[in-house]
Structures are given as structure tokens and as C-alpha cells.
Amino acid sequence: MNHDARWILAALATVLASSLAHSQSTQRVNVANDWSQANLGSRWAFLIVLNLLLLVVGCLMDIFSAIAVVVPLIAPLGMAFGVDPVHLGIIFIANLELGFLTPPVGVNLFLASYRFEKPMTEVTRAVLPFLAILAVGVLVITYVPWLTTVFLDR
């Protein structure tokens, strides 16, 4: 994706996030908040669902656009489940980067295949061990929150 396309995507995501903020989306977020607290039940279940959702979003969207669109929708849910906002932000970035490398639609795989002139299957096979390491890292980041918030002055 070239530089101009990224700016256009970022601008459109910002417009979407602003329109969501100014529309009736806050009422919908409250409904989603109530539903998630009733059906997920615990902070850990919320984090599992969040990891899966962000992995899918990371596979399909540019990181900047995903942040602009998804953060306003998920941040209130994270606060409702008692997830520290800094920790939630780190979870977002780690999951979205993992999604960027996840086959079959990981954007970084396409870029590496094009740049190194290798078939997509070869690039995917080469990245699988690193994907496993990143997945373990994402799980550690998500479920051991004091690792990411230990240096905060709170």
C-alpha cells in the first residue's frame, strides 16, 4: 500500500470514528457493554474475546485505521471490565501486529512476498515460528498485566 493510500485510509477512519462519537453510537456501546458483562462474566473471558477480535481486525485492516475505528468502541468495555487503559493500548498494538503477520490475509506477508520476490507459501512457512513466538508474547502481555504497567507512576 503506497503512502497516499495510507493517508486516505487514516482520514476515512478518523471521519468514521468522529461520526461514531457524535452519533447514537454511545447508546449502542452501552448496550454492548451490558451484553458483554452479562455474557462474558469475567475480565479473563473479555480478554480472550478481545484477543480473538483484534487478531481478526489486524488481519483485515491497517493498524492505524483499526485503532481509529475499534478503540472508541472497545475502550469503554475495557474500562467496564477493569482493564487499565495503558494495558489495553498495549494489548491492541500487540494483537494488531500479530494479525498483520497472520496468514492468509496478513498484510506484512504480502509485502514480504512482493519485496523479496518469493511465493506467498514460502514466506508463510518462514514466518510461522516467529508467529508462534509473537502469539506467546501476546498472551503474556494480555494475561500478566503487571509486566506492562509496572513502570507507571500511579
The model's pLDDT over 31-79, given as tens digits with 9 standing for 90+, comes to 566 666 666 778 888 899 999 999 888 888 878 878 878 888 888 888 8
| Placement of cell 475499534 in the chain | 70
What single letter denotes the amino acid at residue 57?
A: V
The model's pLDDT over 115-136, given as tens digits with 9 standing for 90+, comes to 999 998 898 899 899 999 999 9
Most distant CA pair in the chain, distance: 50
| Placement of cell 477512519 in the chain | 13
Cell of 149: 504497567
